[in-house]
Amino acid sequence: MQKICVIGGSRYFGKLLVQRLHAAGHQVTVINRGSTRPPAGVHHLVADRDDEAALVAALGSTTFDVVVDQVCYTPVQAAIAARAFRGRTSRYVMTSTIEVYDPATSALPTVPRGTPVPEGTVDPASWPVRPDLPWQDDTYLEAHYAEGKRQAEAVFTRDSGFAFASVRSAHVLGGGAQEFTGRLAHYIERIARGTEIAVHAEARPTVFIHYEELADLLLWAATATDFTGPLNACSDGLLDVRELSALIGAQTGREAAYRTVGAGETASPFSFDRPYAMSNTRAKELGFPFSRTSDWLPGAVAEVVGTHIV
């Protein structure tokens, strides 16, 4: 049994992670602002992670074996957490994102066409940190989500006082109504109604992960391994927007209709005109067995069809 703290953990794969950690016999504490209570048997600390004094007061003298941070989006939040948990934990796992590799949001090293990117493409040990930027502004943060995650990883990597690992998640699907992004529903509804899907002329493939698989990987990262640094988390198999739509069409008995977007026009989610796929080789070498996207995606589509009028 380990003492594990989850910051956030009130919805989707974070909620599932808390449930699975508790079911596995670990002593789990959830920290959030109090809007959602954790399951019975899970300790609850109410604090705003952006308020350092309140966070430290809520923690008191409590220590943990591992902290899993589900809701760190900026270098300012990372710096607060690094100070608050220094001396209180020996390991810290942050949920990050595939978007750190988006070449549209920063100048990144180029990779050969069609090559999924490895973790070293974005090295947090050398990434510049700008805590003076307006991270507290929601509009700014939404527009700079990828950069906020990159800089948060950098803060923990360079100045934390504990072993740090980041899990860079692929696009998460599954869970029916729990899937709060609504991106899978976007496609299912349009295909079922015959509405055109806006795509790039040469859409590039990307990677996905089922929300249960991501919860399993985070549990593994917190309790069964001691790796540090970034780790890509994605199921096997690349899909572009047309392949994804074709699979949905096969499930719904409808054929997708497409419209090619012009320069500067917004395409549907998961249509990318730039490289946007990760390599999961490192996680496999460390011992995590990934599923294939094609194995679980039909079930994920069926879950959404069952919860939406299409």
Q: Taking a C-beta distance cutoff of 8 angstroms, is the pair 32, 43 a contact?
A: no
In tens, the pLDDT along 68-98 reads 999 999 999 999 999 999 999 999 999 999 9
More confident residue, 144 or 176: 144
Quick check: 114 pLDDT over 90? Answer: no
Domain 3-305 CATH class label: alpha beta
Band of the pLDDT at 309, cuts 50, 70, 90? very low
Amino acid 92: pLDDT: 97
User: Is pLDDT larger for residue 306 or for residue 54?
Assistant: 54
Domain locations in the chain as residue ranges: 3-305
Provide Rg for the chain, Cα atoms.
Answer: 20
For residues 39 and 18, the answer to whether their CB atoms sit within 8 Å is yes
Residue 93 near residue 7 (C-beta atoms within 8 A): no
Q: pTM here?
A: 0.94
Tell which wins on pLDDT, 304 or 86: 86
pLDDT > 60? residue 145: yes
Percent of the chain exceeding pLDDT 90 equals 71
Helix, strand or coil, per DSSP, at residue 97:
strand
- Cα–Cα distance for residue pair 43/64, rounded to 1 Å: 12
255: pLDDT strictly greater than 70: yes
pLDDT band with cut points at 50, 70 and 90 for residue 308? low
Cα dist. 155→72, 80, 150, 159, 221 in Å?
A: 11, 10, 9, 6, 20
Band of residue 306 on the pLDDT scale cut at 50, 70, 90:
low
Q: What six digits make up the tokens of 22?
A: 């508790």
* pLDDT tens-digit readout, 9-37: 777 888 999 999 999 999 999 999 988 88
Over range 140-159, report the average pLDDT. 96
Long-range contact set of residues 30-38: C-beta below 8 Å, sequence gap at least 24: 30/5, 30/6, 31/5, 31/6, 31/7, 31/55, 31/58, 32/7, 32/8, 35/10, 36/10, 36/11, 38/9, 38/10
